[in-house]
Structures are given as C-alpha cells and as structure tokens.
Amino acid sequence: MNGRSPAGITARLASGTVLGAEGYVFELERRGYIKAGPYVPEVVLDFPDAVRQLHREFLRAGSDVIVALTYYAHREKLRHVGREDDLEAMNRCAVRIAREVAQEGDALVAGNVCNTWAYDPDDPSAPGTVRDTYAEQLGWAVEEGIDFVISETNDYLGEALIALEVIQGLGLPAMVTLAATQPDQTRDGYPYAEACRILAAEGAQVVGLNCDRGPQTMLPLMAGIREKVDCAVAAQPVPYRTDAAAPTMQALRSETIQRAFPLALEPFGCTRFEMAQFALQARDLGVDYVGICCGAGPHHVRAMAEALGREVPASKYSPSLDLHPMFRADVSAKDAMFLSTWNA
C-alpha cells in the first residue's frame, strides 16, 4: 500500500523541508474527547468527526504529513480502559480517517507507534512484548494504507530499535524520534546524538527528537544530532517555554503552579511568532523535518509554514492587523483618542 502519493517521504525530504503537525492527544483532550491520564485515543471510534476536523485544521495550516491517531492505541493501554476488544477497529479507523483527510490535500499518511511502557532493558521478555505490540498495530496500518511510519517518544534506544526493525520488516520508510526527557541520554544510557547515530546506521530514514522539550532546549540537542548523522533529522518540540532551569515541559513550575504538566501548561505556551522563529532556526540548523508536538494549535502550524515561505489554505485568513480599526494607519479620530489606553 506504500506509494499512494506521487512522492514519498524520502523524496520530499530530499527536495526541501517537510513540515509535520502533531499534538493530537493534547488538543483533543482540551476539546473534551480524550481523558487525561490514560490518554487513549478513544475519540477515534467515539467521535471520528473530531479527529477528522483536527487533521483537516493541521492540513489547512500546512502540515505535509497527516499522522494517524494511533498513539497509545495498543493492547496494554486499551486494557487499562477496558477497551481491548476495540483495539483493531481503533487502529484501522485511525488510519482510514488520516488517509481520507490527507487526500483532501497533498499530504502523506504516517502510521504511528510510540513508547509502550512495557520495555525494560532488564526484562528478557520485554522485547518480545514490544515487538508484538508494534507488529500488531502496524500490520493493520499497512493494510489500511500508510506511506511511512513515525515511531516516537521512545525513551529507550532499545525500544526504538525494535520499532525500526518492525517498520523495516514491512518495507516502509522509518522516522524514529526519541523523547529527550533526561538531561543528555536515553534511559538506557546512550547520549541522544549517539542513539540517533545508531538508529541511522541501522537504516532509519529520519532520526531525531519529539515532544517533552520546547524549542529552546531541543535545538541545542538537535545541533549535536545533526553533526553526528548524515540522514534526514526531525525536530518536533512542544510549544512551551522550557529553559535551562526546566528543560522539559514536565519540569515546568511557577510560584502559583506546582506542576504545570500536563493540565496547566497554558501560561508557558509559545506564541505563533516563537514557533515561526523555531521553524527558521531548525531549518537553518539543517533540520529536514520541522514539526510540533503536544500543545500545538493550527495557528502555530500556519505561522511555521509561512515562516518557511509557504502559502497554505489557511493563509487566506492570516492576520491583517493593518485592517484592525485601532491599528490601521487611518484610525479614526474618534478611536485614536483611546489608543493611549491600549498602549498603556
């Protein structure tokens, strides 16, 4: 089923920056369709229109890739919420919806697997469990039609390598991105750049980082990865203002917010301008796949697309503040009197 689009992910990466929008679980939780905590994408079966709509919003905002919402749609997670019987339907339906929307534009469809929480380097039975999980999900995804696979938020290189092996077994291009939740290495002790080098050496088409870190704390790690690998690299940060004191969104705190993650992150949110700046910084650093993860809104994605020089369907409604009654050059005398209060 590979090759639906005229050019697959590797050809697109070779011809320029690819823009990817994710963050479906966070956004659909905010909209009231996914339960925070388990974060299982039950919405795929319960409210497919909500998924379709968000895919469409990201597509209109310029995402080159529609990622099927199968994040955490694996056996173990579904068992936790009592929906194991819905496993196959949820995975198939997620890919079907993603394909349907991707075809409204010129987007690629990515199958998606993630950290399983089952991997344990000290448990000899863990690799088999993880392999079965990935093989099951991706088997259905391939039957429904995907162009490549994104394995993401892997904390362990060992787990990421299992995902890569399963994806390669299906004959599909693999994008494997790690969760950089630790200061400088994976949970199984590989510096992030070294882990990416190994993934690239094992044949991943795209390697990099996604989630957890905001632009400011992800970019320095990306520079190290870019230096170490020859293949395409991906950076999909969360749109939150992480910094040296709080390098991940999980670490964000303020005087009034003891733990911002995952439900009180709004005060730390990046503006569309900050994400546009990130898109340019990432591109200039040599990042091939520029993206955004949990916390993303279509306004971020459109600003990133436009910063990269594109006009996208949603650009029709991009800001024209020169037309705002108070900001326009010929602001009326009646309104101009009140400008001082706006500028106070």
**DSSP 8-class letter at 1:** -
Closer to Zn ion by CB, 126 or 211: give it.
211
Q: Determine, following the binding rule CB under 5 A, whether residue 21 of this chain makes contact with Zn ion.
A: no
Which of 297, 293, 263 has its CA nearest to residue 35? 263
Q: Which residues pair with 273 in a beta bridge?
A: none
Binding part of the chain for Zn ion, among 30-38, 137-145, 154-162, 286-294 by CB under 5 A, reads: 286-294
Inter-residue contact 217 to 184 (CB < 8 Å):
no
Count each helix (H run) and each strand (E run) in the chain, helices first.
Answer: 14, 8
Which of 65, 78, 80 has its CA nearest to residue 23? 65
Residues 206-245 that bind Zn ion (CB under 5 A): 211
Among 28, 51, 166, 293, binds Zn ion (CB under 5 A): 293
CB of 25 to Zn ion, least distance (A): 7
Task: Return the amino acid letter for 199.
Answer: L
CB of 88 to Zn ion, least distance (A): 25
Binding part of the chain for Zn ion, among 43-51, 203-211, 227-235, 260-268 by CB under 5 A, reads: 203-211
Closer to Zn ion by CB, 170 or 279: give it.
279
CB of 104 to Zn ion, least distance (A): 24
Among 97, 234, 294, 303, binds Zn ion (CB under 5 A): 294
Which of 33, 143, 29, 54 has its CA nearest to residue 93? 143
Inter-residue contact 166 to 138 (CB < 8 Å):
yes
CB of 294 to Zn ion, least distance (A): 3
Give ∠ CA 45-48-53 in degrees, rounded to 5: 155
CB of 6 to Zn ion, least distance (A): 29
Question: Where on the chain is the footprint of Zn ion (CB under 5 A)?
Answer: 211, 293-294
